[in-house]
Amino acid sequence: MMRIQNLSYFTPTFGYNKTLSNELNKKLKSDNSREANALIQLNNSCNKTEDEIRGSDDTLKNMSLVNTLLNSKFKLASAVEVIFPEMNYTAREKYSYDTGAYKSVKDNRTFDALWQYCMGYGLSQILIDLNDFAEQAGDGDFGVEFMPQDSNVEDELIEEFTPDEFSPKGFDSLGGMEKLKEELYDKIIYPVTHPEEADLDFEEYGKRPPRGVLLYGPPGCGKTTIAEALSQEADLPLFKLKISKAGSPYINATSANYQAAFDKAAMVAEETGKPCFMLIDEIDGLTKARDQYASSEDLKQMGTLLNLIETARNRNIFVIAATNKYDIIDPAIKRRFDEQIYVPLPDLETREKIVYKALAPRLKGIPLAESQDDLKEIAQKMEGFPSSAIIIIADKASDNARKDGRRIITKDDFFNEIAKNDNLKITENDFQSSNMRKSVGFR
């Protein structure tokens, strides 16, 4: 039987997944064909029948309803797998019923557990049939391998950002970037922390938070750090999608992984009643532009991710993406981000503040940090260095002072390391887009 990975993240319901049901109806309505309308009626009929089962204590009547529901649900699932394979409808629905059955057993609802178990078992047979069909067609025809039955489920797809002593504590931790911080506060943090004022802004001006923000620019300029600082400033959880875990050679698995990751974030948002952030770092690794050589599996994965980003705002998820390869990202993905902000190399003022923030916590660096003239001179010599390289040079300069009799850190320590590490400089033009929007907060 083909396994879909990481469905343990899926938000459990008593029976059918209401979010999935609404998602299906939305897709079918966009088709607007006679067949699509028939499937909408079938889906609504299944949901109505299930609601009747849950609301009645008449076991004899419920047995009849369950038989009707089983037949209708399996017809629906089989059809959806053919029309919208990217939804992973059957696997997601099976997980929902399995979870419901387990909960019913714990609550001593024997009949409820029985019919939900039957639903999950019947849906598993559809998955087996799909797998048999794919094996008969041959792996080569699909361009992917199939997950073996005894394969272990992958580790967690997303990790929640947990600040440590080196993490940003908010926007005050970012050197410079004042206009960028103002923009992020106005468009993201303010609506979250002032919901009533945000509602008024929407009523009067139609202003609402964007679906997401795409940060792009040279590597080492703080795109990931900005996302972490934004999370801390807003006091909201930040989840990072593990790209190395999301991708899979198995059919349907990558799309299911994307879905499971967003479902996890949506579940946290629902439980806390607050939005959460989803960071997709190096998004170019998942969303290279589609061409005539793209496989059907590639197209399915892209379609799944497009839909998840499109609907994230309705699930209280704010998507943050980061890349240093803007031009290779699929145009459809770019259009899903209302805000696309170029994060350039730090300017003079920003470099000066980065050096200050690097020195201030070091006892032997405080005298240099308090000398504005020396800081400015150091910053002037560090033009072309990304933020991460400035921190590296500060570490090396500090280490030189430690080895040289544990003396205070001087500007000459910096000058020596700047000369030695000229290879860390970046040519900014290599990372700019031909249609790049105006820089924000640095120039």
In three-state secondary structure terms, 78 is helix
> 287, 313, 342: which is the final residue of a domain?
342
Same domain, yes or no: 244 and 378: no
Same domain, yes or no: 321 and 366: no
Same domain, yes or no: 338 and 359: no
Same domain, yes or no: 71 and 138: yes
- Go through 126-164 and write b for each residue having 16 or more CB atoms within 10 A of its CB, e for each that does not: bbeebbeebeeeeeeeeebebbeeeeeebeebbeebeee
Same domain, yes or no: 315 and 354: no
CA 343 – CA 195 distance, rounded (Å): 28
Beta bridge partners of 325: none
pLDDT tens over the chain, length 443 residues: 333 333 333 333 345 778 888 889 898 888 878 888 889 999 999 888 888 887 777 767 777 788 888 888 888 888 888 888 878 888 888 878 877 777 777 777 777 777 887 787 778 777 666 655 544 444 433 333 333 333 333 346 788 888 887 788 888 888 777 888 888 888 888 887 788 888 898 888 888 777 789 999 898 888 899 999 999 999 999 999 877 666 654 555 677 778 888 888 888 888 888 889 999 988 887 766 555 445 555 667 777 888 888 888 888 899 999 998 888 888 888 888 988 888 888 889 889 989 998 999 999 999 999 999 999 999 999 999 998 899 999 999 999 999 999 999 999 999 999 999 988 888 776 666 655 544 444 33
Instruction: Tell me the backbone φ, ψ of residue 205, rounded to 5 degrees.
Output: -125, -5
In degrees, rounded to 5, the angle at the alpha carbon of residue 157 between the alpha carbons of residues 154 and 163 is: 135
> 294, 326, 342: which is the final residue of a domain?
342
Residue 409 in domain = yes
Same domain, yes or no: 165 and 292: yes
Residue 129 in domain = yes
Q: How many folded domains does the chain comprise?
A: 3
Both tokens assigned to 65: 């309803």
Cβ neighbors of 379 (< 8 A, separation 6 or more) are 348, 349, 351, 352, 355
Half-sphere exposure of 347 (CA within 13 A, CB side): 10
Look at the block and give the residue holding tokens 């948002």: 269
Both tokens assigned to 36: 């699509």
Residue 368 in domain = yes
0.85 surpassed by pTM: no
Same domain, yes or no: 331 and 396: no
Residue 122 in domain = yes
Q: What is the DSSP string of 336-400?
A: T-SEEEE-----HHHHHHHHHHHHTTSGGGHHHHT-HHHHHHHHHTTTT--HHHHHHHHHHHHHH
* pLDDT score, position 216: 92
CA 237 – CA 267 distance, rounded (Å): 12
Beta bridge partners of 277: 238, 318
Residue 290 in domain = yes
From residue 331, alpha-carbon distances to 30, 213, 246, 359, 374 in Å are: 22, 15, 21, 42, 45
What is the CB neighbour count within 10 angstroms for residue 330?
20
Residue 379 in domain = yes
> Domain of 240: which CATH number?
3.40.50.300
Residue 2 in domain = no
* pLDDT score, position 147: 38
> Domain of 354: which CATH number?
1.10.8
Same domain, yes or no: 197 and 298: yes
Same domain, yes or no: 365 and 322: no
Same domain, yes or no: 278 and 207: yes
Residue 64 in domain = yes
Same domain, yes or no: 55 and 162: no
CB 27 within 8 A of CB 16: no
Same domain, yes or no: 207 and 311: yes
> 289, 322, 342: which is the final residue of a domain?
342
Range of the domain at 366: 348-424
